Homo-oligomer: A and B are copies of this chain.
Amino acid sequence: MPMVLFAAPALWDDYTEALPRALAEAGVAATIVTQAPDPAAVDYIVYAPSAPLQDFAPFTRAKAVLSLWAGVERIVGNASLTQPLCRMVDPWLTEGMVEWVVGHALRHHLGMDRHIVNPGHVWDQTCPPLARDRPVAMLGLGTLGLACARALQALHFPVTGWSRSPKDVPGLTCLQGEAGLEQALRGAQIVVTLLPRTPQTENLLNARTLALLPQGAAILNPGRGALIDDAALLAALDRGHIGHATLDTFRVEPLPPDHPFWAHPRVIVTPHIAADTRPASAARVIAENIRRGEAGEPFLHLVDRARGY
Protein backbone atom coordinates (compact mmCIF):
# COMPACT_ATOMS: atom_id res chain seq x y z
CA MET A 1 0.00 0.00 0.00
CA PRO A 2 1.61 3.30 -1.07
CA MET A 3 2.50 5.82 1.61
CA VAL A 4 1.37 9.39 0.91
CA LEU A 5 3.08 12.13 2.91
CA PHE A 6 0.87 15.17 3.23
CA ALA A 7 3.65 17.77 3.53
CA ALA A 8 1.56 20.95 3.51
CA PRO A 9 0.71 21.23 7.23
CA ALA A 10 -1.13 24.55 6.88
CA LEU A 11 -3.59 22.91 4.51
CA TRP A 12 -4.13 19.62 6.32
CA ASP A 13 -7.41 20.73 7.87
CA ASP A 14 -8.82 21.31 4.39
CA TYR A 15 -7.80 17.85 3.18
CA THR A 16 -8.35 15.67 6.26
CA GLU A 17 -11.61 14.42 4.81
CA ALA A 18 -11.28 15.36 1.14
CA LEU A 19 -8.09 13.41 0.38
CA PRO A 20 -9.11 10.01 1.84
CA ARG A 21 -12.50 10.37 0.13
CA ALA A 22 -10.90 11.17 -3.24
CA LEU A 23 -8.48 8.25 -2.93
CA ALA A 24 -11.34 5.90 -2.10
CA GLU A 25 -13.32 7.21 -5.08
CA ALA A 26 -10.28 6.63 -7.30
CA GLY A 27 -10.05 3.06 -6.03
CA VAL A 28 -6.62 3.67 -4.48
CA ALA A 29 -5.77 2.10 -1.12
CA ALA A 30 -3.07 4.28 0.45
CA THR A 31 -1.74 5.25 3.83
CA ILE A 32 -1.77 9.00 4.42
CA VAL A 33 0.70 10.39 6.93
CA THR A 34 1.58 13.92 7.97
CA GLN A 35 5.00 12.99 9.37
CA ALA A 36 7.53 10.62 7.84
CA PRO A 37 10.23 9.48 10.27
CA ASP A 38 11.56 7.34 7.43
CA PRO A 39 11.58 9.48 4.26
CA ALA A 40 12.66 6.51 2.20
CA ALA A 41 9.29 4.88 2.93
CA VAL A 42 7.32 7.66 1.25
CA ASP A 43 5.82 6.99 -2.19
CA TYR A 44 4.12 10.33 -2.89
CA ILE A 45 4.56 13.79 -1.43
CA VAL A 46 1.53 16.08 -1.47
CA TYR A 47 3.04 19.51 -1.25
CA ALA A 48 2.50 23.27 -1.15
CA PRO A 49 5.35 25.53 -2.21
CA SER A 50 4.92 27.47 1.06
CA ALA A 51 5.53 24.34 3.16
CA PRO A 52 8.59 23.99 5.41
CA LEU A 53 9.83 20.91 3.56
CA GLN A 54 12.67 22.05 1.29
CA ASP A 55 15.02 19.08 1.09
CA PHE A 56 13.63 16.34 -1.09
CA ALA A 57 16.86 14.30 -1.26
CA PRO A 58 15.95 11.90 1.57
CA PHE A 59 12.79 10.81 -0.26
CA THR A 60 14.71 8.31 -2.30
CA ARG A 61 11.74 6.18 -3.27
CA ALA A 62 9.16 8.93 -3.89
CA LYS A 63 7.47 8.54 -7.24
CA ALA A 64 6.19 12.10 -7.45
CA VAL A 65 5.83 15.44 -5.69
CA LEU A 66 2.23 16.56 -6.18
CA SER A 67 1.76 20.30 -5.71
CA LEU A 68 -1.51 21.68 -4.40
CA TRP A 69 -0.66 24.99 -6.08
CA ALA A 70 -0.81 25.83 -9.77
CA GLY A 71 2.27 28.03 -9.53
CA VAL A 72 5.46 26.11 -8.79
CA GLU A 73 8.06 28.82 -9.32
CA ARG A 74 9.16 28.64 -5.69
CA ILE A 75 10.24 25.00 -5.94
CA VAL A 76 10.98 24.36 -9.58
CA GLY A 77 14.57 25.48 -9.05
CA ASN A 78 15.09 23.35 -5.94
CA ALA A 79 18.05 21.11 -6.86
CA SER A 80 17.09 18.48 -4.29
CA LEU A 81 13.73 17.98 -6.00
CA THR A 82 14.66 15.36 -8.58
CA GLN A 83 11.37 13.46 -8.42
CA PRO A 84 8.67 14.08 -11.03
CA LEU A 85 6.88 17.31 -10.03
CA CYS A 86 3.22 17.80 -10.88
CA ARG A 87 1.43 21.09 -10.53
CA MET A 88 -2.22 21.54 -9.69
CA VAL A 89 -4.67 22.00 -12.53
CA ASP A 90 -7.88 22.00 -10.57
CA PRO A 91 -11.04 22.27 -12.68
CA TRP A 92 -12.79 24.15 -9.92
CA LEU A 93 -9.83 26.50 -9.54
CA THR A 94 -10.22 27.19 -13.26
CA GLU A 95 -13.89 27.96 -12.74
CA GLY A 96 -13.06 30.35 -9.92
CA MET A 97 -10.47 32.08 -12.09
CA VAL A 98 -12.95 32.46 -14.94
CA GLU A 99 -15.43 34.03 -12.52
CA TRP A 100 -12.85 36.53 -11.26
CA VAL A 101 -11.58 37.46 -14.71
CA VAL A 102 -15.00 37.73 -16.36
CA GLY A 103 -16.42 39.56 -13.35
CA HIS A 104 -13.65 42.16 -13.18
CA ALA A 105 -13.49 42.51 -16.97
CA LEU A 106 -17.22 43.31 -16.95
CA ARG A 107 -16.72 45.62 -13.97
CA HIS A 108 -14.16 47.65 -15.93
CA HIS A 109 -16.10 47.41 -19.14
CA LEU A 110 -19.34 48.63 -17.57
CA GLY A 111 -17.62 51.25 -15.41
CA MET A 112 -19.27 49.84 -12.29
CA ASP A 113 -17.04 51.63 -9.83
CA ARG A 114 -18.56 55.03 -10.51
CA HIS A 115 -21.96 53.63 -9.53
CA ILE A 116 -20.65 51.74 -6.50
CA VAL A 117 -18.89 54.87 -5.21
CA ASN A 118 -21.23 57.73 -6.13
CA PRO A 119 -21.42 60.06 -3.13
CA GLY A 120 -22.92 62.86 -5.23
CA HIS A 121 -25.78 60.55 -6.32
CA VAL A 122 -25.10 61.51 -9.90
CA TRP A 123 -27.57 60.12 -12.46
CA ASP A 124 -25.24 59.92 -15.44
CA GLN A 125 -26.63 57.79 -18.24
CA THR A 126 -23.42 57.62 -20.22
CA CYS A 127 -23.52 54.13 -21.58
CA PRO A 128 -20.47 51.95 -22.23
CA PRO A 129 -19.96 50.44 -25.66
CA LEU A 130 -20.85 46.80 -26.08
CA ALA A 131 -18.33 44.13 -25.13
CA ARG A 132 -18.01 43.43 -28.86
CA ASP A 133 -16.28 46.81 -29.10
CA ARG A 134 -13.96 46.27 -26.10
CA PRO A 135 -10.87 44.33 -27.19
CA VAL A 136 -9.13 42.19 -24.60
CA ALA A 137 -5.58 40.86 -24.65
CA MET A 138 -5.12 37.57 -22.82
CA LEU A 139 -1.45 37.17 -21.95
CA GLY A 140 -0.97 33.47 -21.28
CA LEU A 141 -2.85 30.66 -22.98
CA GLY A 142 -2.46 27.83 -20.53
CA THR A 143 -5.44 26.10 -18.95
CA LEU A 144 -6.49 29.24 -17.09
CA GLY A 145 -5.85 31.79 -19.83
CA LEU A 146 -7.63 29.70 -22.40
CA ALA A 147 -10.67 29.12 -20.19
CA CYS A 148 -10.90 32.86 -19.49
CA ALA A 149 -10.47 33.72 -23.17
CA ARG A 150 -13.33 31.37 -24.07
CA ALA A 151 -15.63 32.82 -21.42
CA LEU A 152 -14.90 36.39 -22.55
CA GLN A 153 -15.49 35.42 -26.17
CA ALA A 154 -18.86 33.95 -25.19
CA LEU A 155 -19.80 37.47 -24.03
CA HIS A 156 -18.60 38.83 -27.41
CA PHE A 157 -15.42 40.49 -26.15
CA PRO A 158 -12.92 40.36 -29.04
CA VAL A 159 -10.04 38.46 -27.43
CA THR A 160 -6.49 38.26 -28.73
CA GLY A 161 -4.33 35.66 -27.08
CA TRP A 162 -0.62 35.86 -26.57
CA SER A 163 1.85 33.30 -25.31
CA ARG A 164 5.61 32.97 -25.38
CA SER A 165 5.54 29.92 -27.59
CA PRO A 166 3.21 29.55 -30.59
CA LYS A 167 -0.29 28.22 -29.88
CA ASP A 168 -2.95 27.16 -32.32
CA VAL A 169 -6.42 27.49 -30.84
CA PRO A 170 -9.49 27.29 -33.10
CA GLY A 171 -11.44 30.52 -33.13
CA LEU A 172 -8.87 32.52 -31.17
CA THR A 173 -6.22 34.80 -32.64
CA CYS A 174 -3.01 33.62 -31.00
CA LEU A 175 0.09 35.78 -31.19
CA GLN A 176 3.55 35.03 -29.86
CA GLY A 177 6.97 36.48 -29.34
CA GLU A 178 7.99 40.11 -29.03
CA ALA A 179 6.23 41.33 -32.17
CA GLY A 180 3.06 39.49 -31.18
CA LEU A 181 3.11 41.06 -27.72
CA GLU A 182 3.40 44.51 -29.21
CA GLN A 183 0.45 43.82 -31.53
CA ALA A 184 -1.69 42.35 -28.74
CA LEU A 185 -1.06 45.30 -26.43
CA ARG A 186 -1.55 48.05 -29.02
CA GLY A 187 -5.09 46.88 -29.69
CA ALA A 188 -6.24 46.07 -26.14
CA GLN A 189 -8.48 48.08 -23.84
CA ILE A 190 -8.31 45.38 -21.17
CA VAL A 191 -5.22 43.25 -20.53
CA VAL A 192 -5.34 40.06 -18.47
CA THR A 193 -2.04 38.56 -17.29
CA LEU A 194 -2.28 34.83 -16.70
CA LEU A 195 1.27 33.67 -17.26
CA PRO A 196 3.42 31.52 -15.03
CA ARG A 197 6.25 33.30 -13.31
CA THR A 198 9.49 32.45 -15.06
CA PRO A 199 12.68 34.43 -15.71
CA GLN A 200 11.21 35.18 -19.16
CA THR A 201 7.87 36.51 -17.91
CA GLU A 202 9.16 38.60 -15.00
CA ASN A 203 8.32 42.28 -15.58
CA LEU A 204 6.61 41.43 -18.85
CA LEU A 205 4.52 44.54 -18.26
CA ASN A 206 7.10 47.28 -17.80
CA ALA A 207 7.51 50.92 -18.81
CA ARG A 208 8.09 50.00 -22.45
CA THR A 209 5.26 47.48 -22.85
CA LEU A 210 2.75 49.48 -20.80
CA ALA A 211 3.38 52.42 -23.12
CA LEU A 212 2.15 50.28 -26.03
CA LEU A 213 -1.36 50.12 -24.57
CA PRO A 214 -3.90 52.70 -25.67
CA GLN A 215 -4.70 55.56 -23.30
CA GLY A 216 -6.98 54.47 -20.46
CA ALA A 217 -6.51 50.72 -20.78
CA ALA A 218 -7.26 48.55 -17.76
CA ILE A 219 -5.05 45.79 -16.39
CA LEU A 220 -6.21 42.68 -14.57
CA ASN A 221 -3.48 40.64 -12.93
CA PRO A 222 -4.69 37.43 -11.37
CA GLY A 223 -1.49 35.65 -12.47
CA ARG A 224 1.66 36.49 -10.59
CA GLY A 225 2.77 39.77 -9.04
CA ALA A 226 6.20 39.55 -10.67
CA LEU A 227 4.70 39.75 -14.16
CA ILE A 228 4.37 43.50 -13.63
CA ASP A 229 7.02 46.09 -12.83
CA ASP A 230 5.24 47.79 -9.91
CA ALA A 231 7.04 51.12 -10.25
CA ALA A 232 6.36 51.31 -13.99
CA LEU A 233 2.70 50.49 -13.45
CA LEU A 234 2.36 53.14 -10.74
CA ALA A 235 3.98 55.74 -13.01
CA ALA A 236 1.65 54.84 -15.89
CA LEU A 237 -1.36 55.00 -13.55
CA ASP A 238 -0.23 58.34 -12.11
CA ARG A 239 -0.13 59.97 -15.50
CA GLY A 240 -3.43 58.33 -16.48
CA HIS A 241 -2.00 56.39 -19.36
CA ILE A 242 -3.23 53.23 -17.68
CA GLY A 243 -6.80 53.91 -16.59
CA HIS A 244 -7.10 51.24 -13.94
CA ALA A 245 -5.51 48.13 -12.51
CA THR A 246 -7.17 45.36 -10.56
CA LEU A 247 -4.49 43.26 -8.97
CA ASP A 248 -4.88 39.96 -7.19
CA THR A 249 -1.25 38.87 -6.96
CA PHE A 250 1.76 40.72 -5.59
CA ARG A 251 5.47 40.33 -5.17
CA VAL A 252 4.99 40.25 -1.42
CA GLU A 253 1.81 38.83 0.09
CA PRO A 254 -0.11 39.92 2.05
CA LEU A 255 0.46 43.22 0.25
CA PRO A 256 2.34 45.36 2.83
CA PRO A 257 0.18 48.08 4.43
CA ASP A 258 2.45 50.84 3.12
CA HIS A 259 2.45 49.63 -0.49
CA PRO A 260 1.19 52.43 -2.78
CA PHE A 261 -1.21 50.03 -4.55
CA TRP A 262 -3.52 50.08 -1.50
CA ALA A 263 -4.35 53.78 -1.61
CA HIS A 264 -3.96 54.46 -5.32
CA PRO A 265 -7.24 55.81 -6.76
CA ARG A 266 -6.78 53.77 -9.93
CA VAL A 267 -5.97 50.46 -8.25
CA ILE A 268 -8.21 47.86 -6.67
CA VAL A 269 -6.51 45.16 -4.62
CA THR A 270 -8.09 41.75 -4.26
CA PRO A 271 -6.26 39.52 -1.75
CA HIS A 272 -5.05 36.63 -3.93
CA ILE A 273 -8.49 35.06 -4.12
CA ALA A 274 -8.92 34.82 -7.88
CA ALA A 275 -7.95 31.18 -7.99
CA ASP A 276 -8.52 29.46 -4.74
CA THR A 277 -7.72 25.78 -4.80
CA ARG A 278 -10.87 23.90 -3.86
CA PRO A 279 -9.97 20.93 -1.65
CA ALA A 280 -12.73 18.64 -2.94
CA SER A 281 -11.69 18.93 -6.57
CA ALA A 282 -7.95 19.34 -5.91
CA ALA A 283 -7.98 16.13 -3.86
CA ARG A 284 -9.47 14.34 -6.85
CA VAL A 285 -6.58 15.55 -9.02
CA ILE A 286 -4.04 14.33 -6.43
CA ALA A 287 -5.82 10.98 -6.12
CA GLU A 288 -5.91 10.54 -9.89
CA ASN A 289 -2.17 11.13 -10.10
CA ILE A 290 -1.51 8.60 -7.35
CA ARG A 291 -3.73 6.12 -9.17
CA ARG A 292 -1.73 6.77 -12.34
CA GLY A 293 1.56 6.36 -10.52
CA GLU A 294 0.46 3.04 -9.08
CA ALA A 295 -0.83 1.87 -12.48
CA GLY A 296 2.36 2.93 -14.25
CA GLU A 297 0.47 5.50 -16.32
CA PRO A 298 1.90 8.96 -17.14
CA PHE A 299 1.25 11.68 -14.57
CA LEU A 300 -1.09 14.57 -15.30
CA HIS A 301 0.28 18.14 -15.23
CA LEU A 302 3.93 17.16 -15.06
CA VAL A 303 6.15 20.24 -14.77
CA ASP A 304 8.67 20.83 -17.53
CA ARG A 305 11.74 21.95 -15.58
CA ALA A 306 13.27 23.68 -18.58
CA ARG A 307 10.18 25.86 -19.12
CA GLY A 308 9.65 26.24 -15.38
CA TYR A 309 5.96 25.26 -15.34
Contact = CB atoms under 8 A, between A and B. Distances in A.
Contacts of A132: 95
B268 A116 contact: yes
A254 interface: yes
Interface in A240-287: 253-255, 257, 262-263, 268-273, 276, 278
Interface stretch (A68-76, A150-158, A168-176, A190-198): A150-158
A125 B270 CA distance: 8
A130 B92 contact: yes
Name the residue in A98, A106, A262 with the highest tally of chain B Cβ atoms < 10 Å from its Cβ.
Answer: A106
A69 B208 CA distance: 46
Interface residues of A, number: 47
A77 interface: no
Contacts of A113: 116
A257 B130 contact: no
Interface in A111-157: 112-113, 115-118, 121, 123-128, 130-132, 151, 154-156
Contacts of A118: 269
A52 B225 CA distance: 57
Contact of A99 (B96, B155, B271, B273): B155
A112 B107 contact: yes
In the A-B complex, the 4 residue pairs with the closest CB atoms: A103-B106, A123-B254, A127-B276, A121-B262
Nearest to A96: B130
A104 interface: yes
Contacts of A262: 121
B103 A273 contact: no
A100 interface: yes
Contact of A125 (B124, B155, B271): B271
A53 to B, nearest CB: 23
A103 B95 contact: no
A161 to B, nearest CB: 19
Nearest to A93: B130
B130 A278 contact: yes
A15 to B, nearest CB: 16
A107 B156 CA distance: 19
19 contacts: A95-B132, A98-B155, A99-B130, A102-B102, A102-B106, A103-B103, A103-B109, A103-B110, A103-B112, A112-B112, A115-B271, A116-B116, A118-B269, A121-B262, A121-B263, A127-B273, A127-B276, A130-B278, A154-B154
